[in-house]
Structure formats: structure tokens, C-alpha cells
Amino acid sequence: MMSPSHRKPRITVLKTSKKEHTLSIHAPKKDAPPCGLWLRLGPDLALDILTRDLKQIFFAINSTSYKKNMHTLEISGDENDKDFKDTATLLFALARAHGITTIFRGTAQSAHELEADGVLLDNLDDLTAARKLFEEDGIIGISCGLSNEKAAAAYDAAVDFVTFGTSKNTLPDAQILKFWTILTDHPAVIEGPVSNDYCAYYVEAGASFIDARDYIWSHSKGVMQGTVNMLHAIDLALENKNTGKAQ
């Protein structure tokens, strides 16, 4: 559901001796990865800078060895600010053009107006209205914080995905994913300042998406290198997870 086709082929990720990773052009194409990047933006959107950065990020994403990508752009901000909404609309259009799923964090009405693929809600009470607006094609999720009880209610309501984590500068315990992955195979997003050194804990625990915003945009060598490093770390974690299952 959240893995649209991408458009740029033939480049894969290889490790170098300097703990950075680079792009190379020799790899058979695989289907889609079971875990992807969750890119969060907002509330302040500088169109020129973000357009430049996102193009680099999307190039790295669409240059991996997968036939399809598994990545999402989430935007949040002031829904009453026309300039914000105009910028968000343009950034969502850019993401869709590169095969990236688009989610607005806020009201379903604004998500629909911004032509996002779906909405991330905070309140389960808003779910019925969101479904009515998006009908069957929309992707509707609930932010669960650190609450298994809210996740259970989201499961009962048949949401398309959930997020775990807080708005603070902390990481959730990877064990929070156990409850959700026992219930369902619907996607779970881990929110927080996840680096490439720590993403394996969440990938191996069953996360479907990793919040990569802080790591990618703070990387000393730029957003493309940050993206490549994070994608490589996810691939390594998936390999370790699959190796463990085979043993």
C-alpha cells in the first residue's frame, strides 16, 4: 500500500572504508524493502532549500537496488497559513513525481486539500470523517505515542498505519513494536531522532518506517550522504534479521 514505484534504476549502496557509503551501478533489482525512510518536514518550510534537499534525497532513494521504494514524506504545519499550504502542496507534488508517498499530519480536510495520499491523525474520533473524505484510496494513520492501549484501539478501528514515539528529543523503546507486530502486519512508524547507528534495533523489532529527519538533515556531508548511510544501515539490519530467522 505504501510502496509506490520509483523511477531511477541501477544504483546500489556499497560500504567504504571510512564508515560512509557510496553509490555504485552494479546490482540486480529486488522488489521493495520491508522497511523505509519516514521523512518529516515542518512547520517552517523554506521552499528553495527543501526542493534542493529533497531532490538529492529522492535521487539517493530511487538509486537503490529495489524496483519499488518504500518511503514517505510527512509534512505538518499551520493549516490556516496560506503560504505554508502553498509550499506544502508543491513539496508533495515533488515527492509524488519521485514515487514517494505523501502524508499530512493534521486534519483530513487539509490533507485532502493539499492532495496528500493520506493523513496522520492524533485523535481516533477523527477517523470516520477522514475515511469519508478520502474514501478507499486514502492512507489513514494514528499517532500512538508510547501507548499500547491507543495502538489496540487503532487496530480495532482498522487504521492503515500507526506511529510510535514522542515529539521530544528521545527514542522509544524498540519493545513497543512487539505488541503491534503480534496484532497485525500493517505498517508501524518509529518517530524520533533515529541515527544509522540505532535504526537496526527498530528494523529488527519489526518497524516498517524509520524517522530519518534529524540524521539526514544534520549530516556533515549533506542530505544525500545521510540518506545513503541510513538506507545502508536499514539494509544491513534486514540482512541480519533474515539471517537470524534462517538459523
Give per-residue pLDDT as tens, 196-241.
999 999 999 999 999 999 999 999 999 999 999 999 999 999 998 8
241 found inside a domain:
yes
Query: Considering the entire predicted model, what is its pTM?
Result: 0.86
User: What is the number of domains present in the chain?
Assistant: 1
- High-pLDDT (> 90) share of the chain, %: 76
CATH number of the domain at 195, please. 3.20.20.70
> What pLDDT is recorded for position 16?
32
Domain membership of residue 20 (yes or no) is: no
Q: Is residue 221 part of a domain?
A: yes
**Which structural domain range is residue 47 located in?**
28-246
Please indicate, yes or no, if residue 12 is contained in any of the structural domains.
Answer: no
160 pLDDT above the threshold of 80: yes
The residue length of the chain stands at 247
Nearest Cα residue to 33 out of 136, 143, 187, 195? 187
* 16, amino acid identity: T
Residue 11 has pLDDT above 60, yes or no: no
CA–CA separation, 192 and 92 (whole Å): 22
pLDDT at 193 over 90: yes
Residue 199 lies in a domain: yes
- Could you give the CA distance from residue 39 to residue 227 in angstroms, rounded to a whole number? 10
Domain contains 78? yes
pLDDT band at 20 (very low <50, low <70, confident <90, very high): low
Quick check: is 16 in a domain?
no
Q: Which of 9-18, 37-46, 54-63 has the lowest mean pLDDT?
A: 9-18
Does the residue 94 lie in any domain? yes
